[in-house]
Structure 1
Amino acid sequence: MCGRSGLKMANRQIIVFFLENKRYGVEIENVNDIYEKMESVRVPNTDEFIDGIINLRGDVVTLINLKKRLKVDRVKEEENIIICEMNKDKFGLTVDGIDGIIRLEKNENETPTDSGFIKGFIEKDGKQIIIIDLKKILTKN
């Protein structure tokens, strides 16, 4: 529910990762696995934020470069792939590194925003984490 106090995120877990020096997060319920970055095959005539595809245990997985998708300046090379699944679609997000997993208690709120691919912000242990809206990452132009 969206209200003045933000979105209630009762007992949810967020995987936190880096893009350059900022912390971002996605809900862990959408995450299947994490891998070190591997070679991908570029597919012609795809959006510039698509790094290519990889074969993951027989599954073809599209790699989305989050820096390109979010228009974050690219200074260093991405080192990890977060494998996600939504609506039976499997895809990978290339990120700089993994910070860890955080648990949000019932009293911790996400400050909502309607800003492009950003779902909201969380303040945890004095650090701001930008929560990514995976649905918009996959669908919004």
Structure 2
Amino acid sequence: MQMILFKMNHQNYLISADAVEEVIDTIRITKVPLAPHWIEGLINLRGTVLTVVNLSRLIGVPTTEINRNILIMKQNEEKKGLLIEEVVEVVDIEAGDIQLMDEEGYDEYYSGIVSFPDKVANVIQVNHMIFE
């Protein structure tokens, strides 16, 4: 399966490429008053207004000053942006390469880890959280 490898706060993460429609460079984000702390704001993507979720705030990791990319996530006909620090590459992962985490005491957005020769990446699934 194809997964997108990206960085946030010097940590590596993987997300299924099936859930991502496209990757764009960060564009101007308009703040939304009284929105939850993990909502970064709204963007206008080719005439469509999308909500942008700050992934680091959503999963509780320290935020960074520079966020270079937005993952345009899709679920059915709905789309939302996921603000991340930087996409590294698209990688092919075998299902057996994912070391699953035990359910007890693990957060609802981490589903496992993948070890590479030079790094380790957390596998995350956030569609169930951003498309409520």
TM bucket, shorter chain: 0.7 to 0.9
- Assess if the C-alpha contact under 8 Å between 1:33 and 1:83 holds in 2: yes
Give 1:68 deviation, angstroms.
0.8
The answer as to 2:63 corresponding to 1:71 is no
Percent pairwise identity: 23
Distance in 2, Cα, partners of 1:106 & 1:54: 34
Provide, for residues 1-27 of structure 1, a one-character-per-residue CA deviation record: whole Å limited to 9, x for no partner.
xxxxxxxxxxx1110111110001110
- The aligned amino acid for 2:126 is L
- The aligned amino acid for 1:66 is L
More moved, 44-53 vs 127-136: 127-136
The answer as to 2:18 corresponding to 1:41 is no
Matches within 5 A, 1:47-126: 47-105=36-94, 107-114=96-103, 115-126=107-118
- Assess if the C-alpha contact under 8 Å between 1:20 and 1:76 holds in 2: no
Query: After the TM superposition, which segments of 4 or more aligned residues of structure 1 sit over 6 Å from their partners?
Result: none
TM-score by length of structure 2 reads 0.86
Q: Taking structure 1 as reference, are residues 84 and 103 closer, same or farther at Cα in structure 2, changes over 3 Å only?
A: same
The root-mean-square deviation of aligned C-alpha atoms, in Å, is 1.8
3-state SS in 2 of match to 1:76: coil
TM-score by length of structure 1 reads 0.81
Tell me the matched-pair count.
Answer: 129
- Assess if the C-alpha contact under 8 Å between 1:13 and 1:28 holds in 2: yes
For 1:6, the equivalent position in structure 2 comes to none
3-state SS in 1 of match to 2:101: strand
Provide structure 2 residue ranges, at least 5 long, that are not aligned to the other structure: none
For 1:137, the equivalent position in structure 2 comes to 129
Distance in 2, Cα, partners of 1:106 & 1:139: 25
